[in-house]
């Protein structure tokens, strides 16, 4: 995976919602993942470049990360479409 803006291969997966910070601390420290925030929309990016901070791709609701856990917590995250209904 390379950044489409700067061609860097230092790319992190963006986690959305409220992750278990103890479970992801090591990956955060290694910049393998980054936090996207608690507000979840239909247009959230999936990847972030660690060099230029470009964000791209599309998060998929049922997608699993490398630990086979959801990328975000559906029970605690906020879907803006629901908040503003």
Mean pLDDT value of segment 16-42: 92
Q: Is 64 contained in some domain?
A: yes
User: Does residue 76 fall inside a structural domain?
Assistant: yes
Does residue 52 sit within a domain? yes
What's the pLDDT at 54? Answer: 97
Is 72 inside a domain boundary?
yes
Which is it for strands 78-79 and 39-40: parallel, antiparallel or unpaired? Answer: parallel
Q: Does 4 reside within a domain?
A: no
Within a domain: 2: no
Considering the domain boundaries, does residue 39 fall inside one? yes
Q: Which residues constitute the domain of residue 74?
A: 11-83
More confident call, 43 vs 83: 43
Kindly tell me the sign of the dihedral angle through the C-alpha atoms of 62, 71, 40, 6. Answer: negative
> Is 1 inside any structural domain?
no
Mean pLDDT calculated for residue range 35-59? 94
Strands 11-16 and 33-37: parallel
């Amino acid at each position: 995976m390379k950044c489409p803006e700067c061609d860097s291969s230092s790319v992190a997966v963006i986690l959305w919602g409220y992750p278990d910070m103890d479970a992801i601390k090591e990956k955060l420290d290694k910049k393998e993942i980054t936090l996207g925030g608690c507000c979840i929309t239909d247009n959230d990016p999936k990847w972030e470049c660690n060099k230029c901070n470009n964000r791209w791709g599309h998060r998929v609701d049922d997608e699993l990360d490398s630990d086979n856990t959801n990328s975000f917590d559906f029970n605690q995250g906020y879907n803006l479409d629901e908040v503003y209904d």
